[in-house]
Structure 1
Amino acid sequence: MDSLTQIVLGAAVGEAVLGKKVGNKAMLYGAIAGTIPDLDVYIGKLFDTITALEIHRGFTHSIFFAIVFGWIFGWLISLYEKNASTKEWALLMFWGFITHPILDAHTTWGTQLFWPLDIRLAFKNIFVIDPLYTLPFLAFLLMAMFQSKASKKRRKYNNLGLIVSSSYMLLTIIIKGITYTKFEQALDSQGIVYSEIETKPTPLNAILWSANVETEDAYLIGYYSLFDTKSIEFYSYPKNHHLLGKYNNDNKVKRLIKITKGWYTISEKSNTLYLNDLRFGLLSVTPNFQQFAFSFKITKEHNIITVEEVPRNREKAKQLLKDLWVRIQGN
């Protein structure tokens, strides 16, 4: 999830663990704990594109990290914060660290919670930024913050924030189940033969959902809003995996394909190949749009293959928000 959401969650968890004893300092250190796992983004900048992607939401988002570094940070904090024991600070940091990847596991990218095992959990039931999850949560947290540490209202407001946000998360799981069934029914009614389907919410909401559908030679992409009254339409994107040719045997390309979990297409522009990661969708919800949110340029120079992420166009991102608002309202 986005940084603000993780800060809010970390602060609320910190308050639940130690707020009654140390007041707002529990929120402060909880917020810090909620931020630390995402420092892997900055570590990734020291490496090439593919390695950075492999590092992201790996070690720092694991149970191992939460246990080991929870104790380390707890001990460090206890050296100058004497109002709670080392064990209590360690417990606060542990819960701040572990709830971060648990929340991230509900997004499309997922988390390697069981690192070093190569298992990435990705439930894909909430977008990385969802105001309906974050804003009510933040409001309750702020209400709690301005109460004294001994106040019953403080604990009540904080608990309400945790309950409301968790209830919304549960609701997105239920909606995912409903929309998944809708996509299956649409595919069956249209006689489309497919081998696999995955669904996820579109940006900033849990009302409009998209589906990636694998067929023999192409991937189909369709959208369904809870307000739709017409049948779902699917748009075809050829796999074109054959275009990789000899690049198929390159270690970097293999690693990139592994990162996509096999959900990718290959496109060619001006004799340059691009690998498009389907998992994160397109920069528009309009029919047959061609630009993917995550696309990687593959080039070869002096027998060295280079993979670079294609920068996203901000203007198209702005247009996406406008298109989303229209499409959410139904077809």
Structure 2
Amino acid sequence: MDSLTQIVLGAAVGEAILGKKAGNKAMLYGAIAGTIPDLDVFASYFTDTVSALAIHRGFTHSIVFSLLFAPILAWIVSRYETFKNFKSWFWLFFWSFVTHPILDAHTTWGTQLFWPFDLRLAFKTIFVIDPLYTLPFLVFLILAMRQKRTSEKRRFYNKMGLIISTSYLILTFLLKWMAFIQFESALKTQNIDYLEIDTRPSPLNTILWSVNVQTEDAYLLGNYSFFDTQPIPFESYTKNHELLGDLVENESVKRMIAISEGWYTINKKDDTLYFNDLRFGLLSLAPKSENFVFKYRLDIDASGKVTFNEAPKDSRDGKKLLTELWQRIKGN
């Protein structure tokens, strides 16, 4: 999830564990701990694109990380804070750490919560930024923050924020299932044979859902809004995996295929290959758009080394997509 959401979650967890004894400092340390797992993004400055993608939401988003670093920070803080109970600080940092990847596990990218095991949890029930999750949570956190440390209202407001946000998170599973049923029904009605189906919410909401459908030679992409009245249209994108040729045996290429979980297409333009990660969809709802959210250019040097470089995005595409999403949410 986005940084603001993780700050709010961490602060609320800190308050729930130690707010009565440490007051707003519990929120502060919880908020800090809630952002620490995302420091893995700095890996992109020190390594190649593929390695950075593999690292992201890996070790720092695991239970192992929480168990290793919670006692270290608890020891440091308990040395200089007025409230010096190590055990209490440990639980604050541990739960602030571990709730971060648990929340991220509900997004499309997912997390390696059980690192070092090669298992990425990705429930794909909520977009990385969802105002319906974050804003009510934030309001209750601010209300709690304004109360005295020992106030019953403070605990009530914080508890309500946690309950409402968690309830919404649970609701997204039901919404995902309802959307899945519609996609499955549409495929059956249109006599489309498929190998695999993958659903996810569209940006900023859980009303409009997107689907990737794998067939023998292509992927079908479609959208469904709970306000739709017309059949669901699917756009076909040829896999073109054969364009990789011998590169399919290259270690970097194999790692990228694994990272994309096999949901990718290959395009060739001016003798240059492009790798499109389909898990995150398109930057446009226009028919037959090739403007994928994550598109990588394959550069090959004289020694045969393959480097993936993300294709630049145009900020205007994002603004246009928001307008298109708003119209599409209202139904087809």
TM-score under structure 2 normalisation? 0.99
Secondary structure in 1 aligned to 2:245?
helix
Question: Residues 44 and 56 of structure 1 are in contact (CA less than 8 Å); yes or no, is this contact kept in structure 2?
Answer: no
| Offset, 1:285 | 1.8
Match of 2:151 in 1: 151
Counterpart AA for 1:260 = S
Question: Residues 48 and 307 of structure 2 are in contact (CA less than 8 Å); yes or no, is this contact kept in structure 1?
Answer: no
Counterpart AA for 2:236 = S
Q: Which structure 1 residue ranges, 5 or more long, are not aligned?
A: none
Question: 1-side partners of 2:169 and 2:313: how far apart?
Answer: 28
Counterpart AA for 2:126 = I
Match of 1:7 in 2: 7
| Offset, 1:124 | 0.1
Question: Residues 15 and 24 of structure 1 are in contact (CA less than 8 Å); yes or no, is this contact kept in structure 2?
Answer: yes
| Offset, 1:127 | 0.2
Question: 1-side partners of 2:109 and 2:253: how far apart?
Answer: 19
Counterpart AA for 2:255 = R
Secondary structure in 2 aligned to 1:79?
helix
Does 299-308 or 47-56 show the bigger shift? 299-308
Secondary structure in 1 aligned to 2:267?
strand
Question: Residues 240 and 267 of structure 1 are in contact (CA less than 8 Å); yes or no, is this contact kept in structure 2?
Answer: yes
Question: 2-side partners of 1:84 and 1:295: how far apart?
Answer: 50
Question: Residues 124 and 199 of structure 2 are in contact (CA less than 8 Å); yes or no, is this contact kept in structure 1?
Answer: yes
Question: 1-side partners of 2:44 and 2:25: how far apart?
Answer: 30
Question: Residues 219 and 238 of structure 1 are in contact (CA less than 8 Å); yes or no, is this contact kept in structure 2?
Answer: yes
TM-score under structure 1 normalisation? 0.99
Question: 2-side partners of 1:144 and 1:84: how far apart?
Answer: 23
Match of 2:309 in 1: 308
Secondary structure in 1 aligned to 2:80?
coil
| Offset, 1:328 | 0.4
Pairing of 1:87-166 with structure 2 (within 5 A): 87-166=87-166
Pairing of 1:215-226 with structure 2 (within 5 A): 215-226=215-226
| Offset, 1:279 | 0.2
Question: 2-side partners of 1:86 and 1:285: how far apart?
Answer: 52
Question: 2-side partners of 1:56 and 1:305: how far apart?
Answer: 20
Counterpart AA for 1:166 = T
Does 195-204 or 295-304 show the bigger shift? 295-304
- Residue 44 in structure 1 maps to residue 44 in structure 2: yes
Pairing of 1:1-331 with structure 2 (within 5 A): 1-303=1-303, 304-331=305-332
Root-mean-square deviation (Å): 0.7
| Offset, 1:109 | 0.2
| Offset, 1:311 | 2.1
Secondary structure in 2 aligned to 1:149?
coil
Does 297-306 or 129-138 show the bigger shift? 297-306
| Offset, 1:313 | 1.6
How far does the alpha carbon of each residue in 1:6-46 deviate from its partner, in whole angstroms, 9 at most, with x for none?
Answer: 00000000000000111000000000010000000013321
Aligned length: 331
How far does the alpha carbon of each residue in 1:23-78 deviate from its partner, in whole angstroms, 9 at most, with x for none?
Answer: 00000000001000000001332111001000000000000011111111111111
Question: Residues 74 and 89 of structure 1 are in contact (CA less than 8 Å); yes or no, is this contact kept in structure 2?
Answer: yes
| Offset, 1:152 | 0.4
Question: 2-side partners of 1:325 and 1:19: how far apart?
Answer: 40
How far does the alpha carbon of each residue in 1:173-217 deviate from its partner, in whole angstroms, 9 at most, with x for none?
Answer: 110000000000000010000000000000000000000000000
Question: 1-side partners of 2:311 and 2:153: how far apart?
Answer: 49
Question: 2-side partners of 1:285 and 1:43: how far apart?
Answer: 32
Question: Residues 61 and 98 of structure 2 are in contact (CA less than 8 Å); yes or no, is this contact kept in structure 1?
Answer: yes
Question: Residues 44 and 55 of structure 1 are in contact (CA less than 8 Å); yes or no, is this contact kept in structure 2?
Answer: no
Counterpart AA for 2:152 = K
Question: 2-side partners of 1:134 and 1:212: how far apart?
Answer: 27
Question: Residues 197 and 212 of structure 1 are in contact (CA less than 8 Å); yes or no, is this contact kept in structure 2?
Answer: yes
Counterpart AA for 2:234 = F
Question: Residues 22 and 84 of structure 1 are in contact (CA less than 8 Å); yes or no, is this contact kept in structure 2?
Answer: no
| Offset, 1:305 | 1.9
Question: Residues 283 and 321 of structure 2 are in contact (CA less than 8 Å); yes or no, is this contact kept in structure 1?
Answer: yes
| Offset, 1:282 | 0.3
Q: Which structure 2 residue ranges, 5 or more long, are not aligned?
A: none
How far does the alpha carbon of each residue in 1:96-124 deviate from its partner, in whole angstroms, 9 at most, with x for none?
Answer: 00000000000000000000001000000
| Offset, 1:306 | 1.6
